[in-house]
Amino acid sequence: MKKKFRAALVQMKSSASKEQNLAYSLKLINKAAKNKAQLICFPEFQMAYSPAEQKPKELHKSAETIDGNFISMLSNSAKRNKINVIATIYEIINTNKQNHKVFDTAVIINDRGKLESIYRKVHLYDALGFKESNKLLAGSNIESPTRTSVGNLGLLICYDMRFPEISRILTVNGASILVSPSAWVAGFMKQEHWEIMLKARAIENGVYVIAPNQLGNIYCGRSMVIDPFGSTLIDMGNREGMEIIDIDNSRIDTIRRTLPLLKNRRTDVYKNYVDVFESES
C-alpha cells in the first residue's frame, strides 16, 4: 500500500445512452492517468440514467453481465493506463429468474485490469417516495475489502450510507478507504443528510470516505472526499467533471491513535444485545 497516492473523483450527469456514458468514462480514465492518478471513482448509475417512467423491461435491455462490454472496456483502459477503477453497472446474472429486474452493482478493477471485487447494492432506496425495488434486485452480501496498490478499499452504494452497520463491518474487516458510488436524490434536507452521514461514517471508523455522486436529472451533486477526522477535502458542488486529490494513508493511523474509537469499542457488551436487535427488527 502506498503511503500517499493520487485519486480522481468523478461527478457526472449520466445520460440514458450507455454508449455515451462509456465513452465519457474512458475519456476521464485517460485524463486521470495523465494527471498521475492511481485511482478513479465513478458514481452510481454510471452506465445509464433510468428515468422514473422507464419500465423494468427497458432497463433490463441495457443491463449487462459482469463480463460484458461495459466492464471489459473499462478493464482494458485500467490496464492500459495502470490505474485502479471503481465503476458501476446494471448487472444481469440470471435472465430467466430476474423478472426483468437487475442488480445495482459496483466493481473494483485493479491497475492491471483485473476485476477484484463485485458488490451488489444491499439496501435499495425504498424511501422518501422512491421504490428502487420496482426495477432493482437487492444484493445479499457485503464484500470483503479489496487490497489494492492504493490501500484496502471497501465498497458500499448510495443508500447503504444511511446504515452504519455496513461501514463498520467493512472497517473492522480491514478497509482503510470506503468508496460509495452514489446517485443521491435532491430534496428537502437531502444535501444536509448526505454531508452529515459521509462525515459520520469517516469519523466513527477512522477512514477516508470517497463519495462520487451523480449531478443533474434528479440528483444533487456534492461529490465529496472526507478524511478520517471528518475534514472535507473535496466538495464538487454542482460542477460536472473530475477533480484530483492527493491522499495520505498515514493519516489513518495517526487519527486512530489519537481518537481510538475502534479500539475503545465494547464488543463484550454489544454481543449480549445482538439477538435483541435482530428480534426487534
- Please give the domain boundaries of the chain with CATH numbers for all domains: 4-280 (3.60.110.10)
Q: Which of 42, 43, 35, 25 is nearest to 5 (CA)?
A: 35
Q: Which active-site residues does the annotation give?
A: 44, 121, 158
What pLDDT does 99 receive? 80
pLDDT tens figures, 85-123: 999 999 998 755 668 899 999 999 999 999 999 999 999
Concatenating the DSSP letter of every residue in 143-212 gives PPPEEETTEEEEE--GGGGG-HHHHHHHHHTT-SEEE--B-PBP-TTHHHHHHHHHHHHHHHHT-EEEE-
Q: Cβ(44)–Cβ(158) under 8 Å?
A: yes
Distance (Å, whole) CA 143 – CA 115: 13
CB 88 within 8 A of CB 163: no
Q: Which tens digit of pLDDT belongs to each residue from 193-251? A: 999 999 999 999 999 999 999 999 999 999 999 999 999 999 999 999 999 999 999 99
User: pTM of the prediction?
Assistant: 0.95
Per-residue pLDDT tens for 152-190?
999 999 999 999 999 999 999 999 999 999 999 999 999
Grid cell digits, residue 33: 492517468
What is the rounded CA–CA span in Å between residue 47 and residue 20?
9
* pLDDT of residue 281 exceeding 80: no
Q: According to the model, what pLDDT value does residue 278 have?
A: 58
Element (H or E) spanning 280, and its range? helix 274-280
pLDDT digits (tens, 9 = 90+) for 16-37: 999 999 999 999 999 999 999 9
